[in-house]
Amino acid sequence: MTLELLPIVENIDSQVLESSDGPQGHNRSVYIETYGCQMNVADSELVGSILNEAGFVISSRAENADIILLNTCAVREHAEERVIGRVAQLNALRAQRPNLTIGILGCMAQHLSETLTERAPFVDIAMGPDSYRRLPNLLAQSSDDALLDVRLNKSENYIGLTPIRREGTNAWVTIIRGCDKFCTFCIVPYVRGRERSIDPIDIVSQIESVVSEGYKEVTLLGQTVNSYKHMNVGFAQLLREIAKVNGLERLRFTSPYPVDFSDDVIMAMSELNCVCPSIHLPVQSGSEAQLRSMRRGYTVDDFRRLVDKLRNTIPDIAISTDIITGFCGETEKDFRETCKLMEEIQFDFAFMFKYSAREGTFAFKKMTDDVTEEIKGQRLQHIIKLQEQISLEKNMKFLGNTYPVLIEGKSKRKGKDGKERCFGKTPHNKTTVIPESVPANTIVNITVDRCTSHTLYGRLN
Ligand code: SAH
């Protein structure tokens, strides 16, 4: 299969989007499967809205759908391999349905672009994260060759669309797209394009509308969410504006970039009741030399000071992080410094990764991926174990206390007595399981009586 690059046609879908049974859809059903970060979850909701407006029907099962779209992640090689495996598996469905269309959306489509169909030969269409308005048109075309649309567009903010959100208690709201940081290991700026902030008026009106639909919690999204700047409105002021929305109980945001964490934002967090006392603050490494070669723009001490300020201003704040081990040139000493920082800061939890070289990044082009797979694996296992202990100790501090928990639904696993349980989140973003049956989207007071490193267990007060 070869690839056909689409001719550039701007604004082609504007009229079509206004129609609820546009010509492209003809009620064809679409199943969307999402990989990667929360921004992808939010983007899938946008894609759902674009397709629905154009007359496609969103299906909840791959097996029934005429079109299957995988919204993908390119941050690590493993994420791409999973999608390639999934495409091969889905391809088997063509035996019963020869007209099935399989598409790859998002960061991996952008990252692999021309080489995608060599790696995933069963793909019919591929589309990057700034092209979704053109998706109905792409799906309406027929071609023996795979179709590709991966133009990045700095002015694409997807304004005017109402995402089709999954039912739940939390609504994701994208406030800034793209990334300008260019950390040497990271593919995000290349696949999501330049940073652009969405008009605060649009953000507030989206939030008013999700709150009126019944969502109690909103999470603001961006690759560097606190770098938000629209005209003279910065992130702190945005938080203050959003907090005025009547009925909004919980406001979260992810992920902030340490360098852009201003005192003003910390003040806003502490003043505004709806802003939850929890923050995901990626540190990546505890080694000065590694932070420099990652071009993170802060020192270990800067990070430490930021954590101190957060904890001094919001005393019970939960802090989680991302850590990469085995980045280019990471010595045993660098690694020990990361462990030391983890012990010192005591993060509530951490996402931990082995470095994965990504074609297109500065590290891929100019640095050597010189830590062996074996060492990367050993170091990863070491920090996972270390963090488990720390998370357990952190969770034990919650024992005996009572917290308002926003119930999300039934827990996947039943209790030891075989009975169903419910789960939800504390303001600190700790998953909490209770034996009582409580309707989703209610906030109840729970006293914590047991915990593991991942979960709190308690009872209704
Ligand atoms: N904007 C976020 C990053 C988003 S990607 C930031 O603050 O940097 C989510 C996480 O994936 C990153 O925080 C990092 O820990 C991890 N990651 C990114 N690129 C990676 C790579 N090449 N190999 C391994 N992990 C990576």
Pocket flag, ligand 1, residue 224 (CB < 6 Å): yes
Distance from the alpha carbon of residue 314 to the mean position of ligand 1, in angstroms: 26
pLDDT, residue 64, reads: 86
Mean pLDDT of 204-213: 96
Distance from the alpha carbon of residue 186 to the mean position of ligand 1, in angstroms: 6
Closest residue by CA, ligand 1 atom 3: 223
- Cα–Cα distance between 443 and 432 in angstroms, integer? 12
Pocket flag, ligand 1, residue 100 (CB < 6 Å): no
pLDDT, residue 6, reads: 34
Query: Which of helix, strand or coil describes residue 182?
Result: coil
**Which helix (DSSP H) or strand (DSSP E) does residue 318 occupy?**
strand 318-325
Query: What are the CA-CA distances from residue 414 to residues 398, 434, 437, 441, 442 (Å)?
Result: 23, 11, 12, 20, 20
For the stretch 238-269, pLDDT in tens is 999 999 999 999 999 999 999 999 999 999 99
Mean pLDDT of 379-404: 98
Pocket flag, ligand 1, residue 327 (CB < 6 Å): no
Closest residue by CA, ligand 1 atom 12: 322
Ramachandran angles phi, psi of 31, nearest 5°: -110, 130
CB-CB neighbours of 205 under 10 Å:
11
Pocket flag, ligand 1, residue 298 (CB < 6 Å): no
Closest residue by CA, ligand 1 atom 1: 223
Q: Which atom of ligand 1 is nearest to the CA of 223?
A: 1
Q: Which residue from 77, 111, 186 has its CB within 8 A of the most atoms of ligand 1, so it is best to mutate? A: 186
Distance from the alpha carbon of residue 284 to the mean position of ligand 1, in angstroms: 8
Q: What is the amino acid identity at position 93?
A: L
For the stretch 332-376, pLDDT in tens is 999 999 999 999 999 999 999 999 999 999 999 999 999 999 999
Distance from the alpha carbon of residue 75 to the mean position of ligand 1, in angstroms: 7
Distance from the alpha carbon of residue 325 to the mean position of ligand 1, in angstroms: 11
Distance from the alpha carbon of residue 121 to the mean position of ligand 1, in angstroms: 28
pLDDT surpassing 50 at residue 137: yes
pLDDT, residue 368, reads: 98
Distance from the alpha carbon of residue 240 to the mean position of ligand 1, in angstroms: 29
Pocket flag, ligand 1, residue 189 (CB < 6 Å): no
Distance from the alpha carbon of residue 190 to the mean position of ligand 1, in angstroms: 13
Q: Which atom of ligand 1 is nearest to the CA of 358?
A: 22
Mark residue 328 as left, alpha or beta (left: phi above 0; alpha: psi -120 to 50; beta: remaining): beta
Mean pLDDT of 21-49: 88
- Cα–Cα distance between 240 and 232 in angstroms, integer? 14
By mean pLDDT, which of 15-29, 224-238, 281-295 is the weakest? 15-29
For the stretch 67-87, pLDDT in tens is 999 999 999 999 999 999 999
The mean pLDDT value of the chain amounts to: 92
Closest residue by CA, ligand 1 atom 19: 186
pLDDT, residue 13, reads: 29
For 160-199, b where at least 16 C-beta lie within 10 A, e where not — what string?
ebebbbeeebbbbbbbbbbbebebbbbbbbbbbbebbbbe
**Burial class of 33 by CB neighbour count within 10 A (0 to 12, 13 to 18, 19+):** middle
For the stretch 397-428, pLDDT in tens is 999 999 999 999 999 888 888 888 999 999 99
pLDDT, residue 417, reads: 85
Closest residue by CA, ligand 1 atom 10: 322
